[in-house]
Amino acid sequence: MIRLTDISRVFHMGDQEVRALDGVDLEIGTGEYVSIMGPSGSGKSTLLNVIGLLDQPDGGRYELDGKDVTDLSEIEKARVRREKIGFVFQSFHLVPRLTAAENIELPLMLEGIAPAERKSRVDEALRGFNLQDRAAHRPPELSGGQRQRVAIARATILRPTALLADEPTGNLDHRIGAEVMVLLEGLHRAGTTLIVVTHDRELGARAQRHIAMRDGEIVSDERQDKFPGGNNFA
């Protein structure tokens, strides 16, 4: 469960104060599929960064699974991220000198997991994301869709309970973006909380819950009992 209460985030640009988040109240239940939409500058990416403990709010309270995580130290935030949260970004953020398999393995190494277990989990991920024949390729040798699949595999290799995706199809064409969304939605159906920030209304409409933002505020929050969430892209 994610619970934000009166969250604010203020940036200073010269002598101007920009309220990226302005008194945001939000609850997201375990296993939900949520899209966050809005124009550039609406606060949607800042909200995702606060939820992911990548950015510190200037005010308010953030509870994750019943625990107050608002003012954790950087070390404590890193621990919570490793244990609970996976990230997928528009620009992939892969390590260029590492192979696909090594990029996927990296979080396991940082967590101190034994080599045999690492190999087993990486092999499983390569199969699950149809990357077996790209395991030894480095990011420059991969297509955009393959890079994003590697990024998703890496984001989920520690089996987080929540996956945060910031414009995950932004650098991909429609067909490849559709394939990436099918992968993400498969993870949701397996029980992962999925939160997707997007400017693409068609993509955002696939979620069971649609949050719209403007000027740092949530202006609408709608749910639908039946939602596409499958692979029926046009």
Name the domain count of the chain. Answer: 1
Asked whether residue 197 is domain-assigned, the answer is yes
For 214, the domain range is 31-55+83-223
pLDDT digits (tens, 9 = 90+) for 145-162: 999 999 999 999 999 999
Residue written as tokens 């200037």?
Answer: 58
Share of the chain above pLDDT 70, in %: 97
- Tell me how far CA of residue 141 lies from CA of 45, 123, 144, 170, in angstroms: 29, 20, 10, 20
Specify the pLDDT at position 229: 67
* Position 67 in a domain: no
The 10 Å Cβ neighbour count of residue 56 is 14
User: What CATH number did the domain enclosing 202 receive?
Assistant: 3.40.50.300
Closest CA to 187 of 167, 163, 203: 163
Sign (positive/negative) of CA torsion 18, 47, 176, 207?
Answer: negative
The whole-number average pLDDT for the span 103-109 is: 96
Average pLDDT over residues 62-83: 95
Q: What would the mean pLDDT of 1-18 be, rounded to a whole number?
A: 93
Domain assignment present for 45: yes
DSSP string, 42-70: SSHHHHHHHHTTSS--SEEEEEETTEE-T
The answer, yes or no, to whether residue 230 has pLDDT greater than 70, is no
With respect to residue 204, please indicate whether it lies within any of the assigned structural domains: yes
What does the mean pLDDT of the chain come to?
Answer: 93
Residue 64 in any domain: the answer is no
119 within domain boundaries? yes
Q: Is there a domain that residue 186 lies in?
A: yes
